[in-house]
Chain A
Amino acid sequence: MDAGTLIVGASQAGLQLAVSLRDVGETGPITLIGEEPHAPYQRPPLSKAYLQGSAELEQLWLRAPEVLTGSDISLVTGERIETLELTDGGPSGSARTKSGQVLTFNRLALTVGARPRRLEAPGADLDGVTYLRTADDATVLRGLQSDAQSVVVIGGGFIGLEAAAVARAQGKSVTVVEAADRLIGRAVAPVVSEFYRAAHFRRGVEVRLDTRVTCLAGEHNRVQAVELSDGTWIPADLVIVGIGVVPRTKLARQLNLECEGGIVVDRHARTSNPTVVAAGDCTVQPHPLTGRGQVRLESVQNAISQAKTAAATLAGQSEPNNSVPWFWSDQYNLKLQIAGLSGGHDQHVVRGDIEGEAFSVLYYREGALLAVDAVNQAGDYMAVRKALTQGATIPAEAAADSSVALRELIVPQAVGA
């Protein structure tokens, strides 16, 4: 009997892999197993609409459970795989869950995701110190936030800033503490970092750069204040920690798969054991546009496109993942949309009105268009995304003229450029 495909991790990538396997004609059993007690749901709204209270979890489901049943996809929730073994190097093998259940499989996919990096400071385990990754995290945070007065957000990345925006919109006193010298430093250029610092400041958020939290203190095991590296104490009845994630590699290591800052995969989503595929936040992969260097992409877009690639690979089709990365972040009335990857740029062009909170930044390396960060400028975002998808470009000198729509400036890449 066909033991089928086991997909470990039931979030965006795992769900997509299961659905895409059916789409490409797979008829054998598919089991999707996840440790959270919920059907697969969208994570991005957890730091936005869900945190605000304007969406409930069922509205965030990626598929209704009965739709999965209808596609003959077995969803197992609330079960964690503890050990994995391959028979004679794969592709078949067996998995043991925390509750002692043994599952056999003929093919294995790892979509295990990442976990939030824990804060290491005295007092970090006090009540009121929260993280934001899962629906349960967000539910806890939503409850605590309604009673909080003073919120300290540790980490000035996307999660931290989105949570800060929600708290501030609810009238809380909010301080963002960031260890680096600018916000969202891993994802955007300094000009965009500075825009977000100023935008949060204008809305009443205190932003402390180059600053660490050295200690948290409270009474009755409940946080009341945090101490910063410059020696000042600030009151905090709620602390939100958003200092990045650590890819989950424990199961991959059990199988001796190569891991280096994530599970290493190729452009076909194959791990170092080509019979095992992996997709989503847990992976590092060749740069999808240039093929040079390894990147780890934490995004819905990547989870979906890599999962589709992984499904095609399992089905014996060869479709390298070369889709253009894109990403978004909502803070207050600011919609940031990113297309491409700006890492390694040597030039940038600003269009629009930074003060007026509607602008975009195009990034180039040696004259080649790499990416755009667009704030309330969907047209610029889409134009760059389209150009990158077509392998076309938008010359930097032309792009600087904000009076001309970017879409008018897309030109085919010169041959050999």
Chain B
Amino acid sequence: MPKVVFIALDGAQRVVDANVGESVMAAAVRNGIPGIIGECGGNCSCATCHVYVHDEFSASVGGANDMEDDLLDLGVADRRDTSRLSCQIKVTEDLDGLTVQIPEEQ
């Protein structure tokens, strides 16, 4: 099982086991990671699963898709180059160890 690392504001790390094919948001919510809400269940409708992807993974994760881009633009407080909605990042074996930071507010 690939692992995903979530880094909270205070620097605390939580590592969760994720299933290949599910989204980073789904793995976070099921495991009760604070700060990842995911109200819409991964439908790109709520913009409450915003994360910053760590630099070393940003190339393999890729950029936001068109719909996600609109949500990030209008729905998140502090958008950066590494911003993604974690419901739109699919877990793969290659992303084992993926590290994302949780923003201050959703």
Binding site for B on A (CB under 8 A): 19, 42, 44-45, 59-64, 67, 70-71, 300-301, 304, 326, 328, 330, 335, 337, 378-379, 381-383, 385-386, 407
Contacts and interface: CB of A to CB of B under 8 A. Distances in A.
A43 to B, nearest CB: 9
A64 B31 contact: yes
Contact of A300 (B30, B32, B40): B40
A300 B41 contact: yes
Interface of B: 19, 22, 26, 29-32, 39-41, 43-47, 66-67, 70-71, 73-75
A42 B41 CA distance: 7
Nearest to B34: A23
B31 A300 contact: no
B40 A386 contact: no
A63 B71 contact: no
A42 B39 CA distance: 10
Given A44-B41, A60-B41, 7 more contacts: A62-B29, A63-B30, A63-B32, A301-B40, A304-B39, A326-B46, A382-B73
A378 B70 contact: yes
B62 to A, nearest CB: 18
A71 B39 CA distance: 20
Given A59-B26, A378-B67, A386 B41 contact: no
Contacts of B73: 379, 382, 407
B74 A383 contact: yes
A134 to B, nearest CB: 16
Contacts of B46: 301, 326
Q: Secondary structure at chain B's binding surface: helix, strand, loop or mixed?
A: loop
A311 to B, nearest CB: 15
Contacts of B41: 42, 44-45, 60, 300
Contacts of B22: 59
Contacts of A328: 40, 43, 45
B71 A382 contact: yes
Contacts of A386: 74-75
A385 B76 CA distance: 12
22 contacts: A59-B19, A59-B22, A60-B41, A70-B32, A300-B39, A301-B46, A328-B40, A330-B43, A335-B44, A337-B45, A378-B44, A378-B67, A378-B70, A379-B70, A379-B73, A379-B74, A381-B45, A382-B47, A382-B70, A382-B75, A385-B74, A386-B75
Contact of A61 (B30, B45, B67, B75): B30
A378 B19 contact: no
B82 to A, nearest CB: 20
Contacts of A407: 73-74
Of all A-B residue pairs in the complex, the 4 with the closest CB atoms, nearest first, are A379-B70, A382-B74, A67-B32, A378-B67
Contacts of B30: 61-64, 67
Contacts of A337: 45
